[in-house]
Amino acid sequence: MDKKNIDWSNIGFGYMQTDKRYVSFFQDGAWDEGVLTEDANVVLNECAGVLQYAQTIFEGLKAYTTENGHIVAFRPDLNAERMESSAKRLEMPVFPRERFVDAVTQVVEANAAYVPPYGSGATLYIRPYMFGFNSVIGVKPADVYQFRIFCTPVGPYFKGGVKPLTIRVSDFDRAAPHGTGNIKAGLNYAMSLHAIVTAHQEGFDENMYLDPGTRTKVEETGGANFLFVTRDGKVVTPKSDSILPSITRRSLLHVAKEYLGLEVEEREVYLEEVKDFAECGLCGTAAVISPVGKIVDHDREICLPSGMTQMGPVTKKLYDTLTGIQMGRIQAPEGWIHVIQ
């Protein structure tokens, strides 16, 4: 397979249209068999459920080339499982898990020329999503749905080196108590846009959201879970019903415990104790972990001892081990690497 002539290390994180995408319709209570298509556009009625009442959910995962030349995807079964819980929460039909993994496989195979080569640091970002397709004017779930998957190559996240982030404690909440914070739905992102635009205007990279009930506990950012390291080397991640269960964070906890022999804790984390941590990172598919150097809570600055120039030592070990597992340099736990080609 000839690769596309792309400057892999300089593509950034944007949408680049590839050759094929997957589409399946849900109608009369059942999914059709699904097809790959070259048509990148979706034509919808003006009153489609997704346009009026935001009935849409999504996933995000990566495919990439391993050291020995295989094209693989990282834990797509967990994306299938998470999309199932998102669908149930928004009264949407479930796209069967085996079919989800099969559709991811088909899309990556059909766009193999866009999978960046090993060592480039770039990856193929895969975006499965589902939305209410037919017209809905009274508030109710749609009864026709489209499930789609497209992919786009994205550049190395830490191009030009690691730069620890400066984040602020947001005065807005991203999730309501007993709301939809724990599902991957477009609606959670629409309401975070104002907070992120103003954060950027004020010179911050991200927002730290607190628990919406008491505003005393750390939840997550707009699109990544927190991971902290204590001064005695324990890995701590916040536990809450309104956090999106990041697959990267869950994988990193396993790596911390089983590969690095570190103690791990998933528990409530109070904003007041953040000043006592040695390291802080944001976990998600795109970056794996981005180190946080500074957290600004209004007139108070919390500077992490790991500083503003590099990843902290434990964050770095976690990052190196998980990316080593993904790239095939380190033996992966059973079932983590889905070989496509």
Active-site hit among 4, 62, 159, 184: 184
SS3 label, residue 34: coil
Q: How far is the CB of 225 from ligand PLP (least distance, A)?
A: 5
Q: Is the dihedral of CA 323, 329, 334, 339 positive or negative?
A: positive
Region binding ligand PLP by CB under 6 A among candidate stretches 226-234, 240-248, 292-300, 324-332 = 240-248
Q: Which of 86, 105, 111, 225 binds ligand PLP (CB under 6 A)?
A: 225
Region binding ligand PLP by CB under 6 A among candidate stretches 110-118, 154-162, 281-289, 327-335 = 281-289
Q: Encoding tokens for residue 188? A: 């959670």
Give which of 252, 246, 286 is closest to 127, Cα–Cα: 286
Give which of 63, 61, 59, 124 is closest to 94, Cα–Cα: 59
Q: How far is the CB of 61 from ligand PLP (least distance, A)?
A: 7
* Residue tagged 């895969």 (tokens): 126
Region binding ligand PLP by CB under 6 A among candidate stretches 3-11, 87-95, 246-254, 312-320 = 246-254
For residues 319 and 227, give the distance between their C-alpha atoms in angstroms, rounded to a whole number: 12
CB 96 within 8 A of CB 11: no
Q: How far is the CB of 80 from ligand PLP (least distance, A)?
A: 12
CB 115 within 8 A of CB 73: no
Q: Is 248 in the site for ligand PLP (CB under 6 A)?
A: yes
List Cα–Cα distances, 291 to 15, 170, 295, in angstroms. Answer: 25, 19, 11
Q: Is 153 in the site for ligand PLP (CB under 6 A)?
A: no
Q: How far is the CB of 244 from ligand PLP (least distance, A)?
A: 4
Q: Is 244 in the site for ligand PLP (CB under 6 A)?
A: yes
Cβ neighbours of residue 160 closer than 8 Å, sequence gap 6 or more: none
Q: Which of 34, 212, 223, 291 binds ligand PLP (CB under 6 A)?
A: 223
Q: Encoding tokens for residue 165? A: 């982030």
Nearer to ligand PLP, 60 or 121 (CB): 60
Q: How far is the CB of 245 from ligand PLP (least distance, A)?
A: 8
Nearer to ligand PLP, 284 or 293 (CB): 284
Q: How far is the CB of 312 from ligand PLP (least distance, A)?
A: 19
* Residue tagged 């950027």 (tokens): 200
For ligand PLP, the binding residues in 47-66 under the rule CB under 6 A are 60
Nearer to ligand PLP, 24 or 192 (CB): 192
DSSP states of 87-110: HHHTT-PPPPHHHHHHHHHHHHHH
> Taking CB under 6 A as the rule, which mask of x and - marks residues 82-121 in contact with ligand PLP?
----------------------------------------
Nearer to ligand PLP, 121 or 307 (CB): 121
How many positions of this chain bind ligand PLP (CB under 6 A)? 14
For residues 174 and 243, give the distance between their C-alpha atoms in angstroms, rounded to a whole number: 9
Q: Which of 246, 290, 306, 326 binds ligand PLP (CB under 6 A)?
A: 246
Q: Which amino acid is at 27?
A: Q
Q: Which of 184, 217, 294, 338 binds ligand PLP (CB under 6 A)?
A: 184
Strands 225-229 and 61-65: unpaired
Dihedral over alpha carbons 298, 188, 289, 230 (to 10 degrees): 50
Q: Is 321 in the site for ligand PLP (CB under 6 A)?
A: no
Phi/psi for 2 (5° steps) reads -75, 130
For ligand PLP, the binding residues in 283-302 under the rule CB under 6 A are 283-285
184 is catalytic: yes
Q: Encoding tokens for residue 150? A: 């497209």
Which residues in this chain contact ligand PLP in the complex, by CB under 6 A?
60, 184, 220, 223-225, 244, 246-249, 283-285
Active site residues: 184
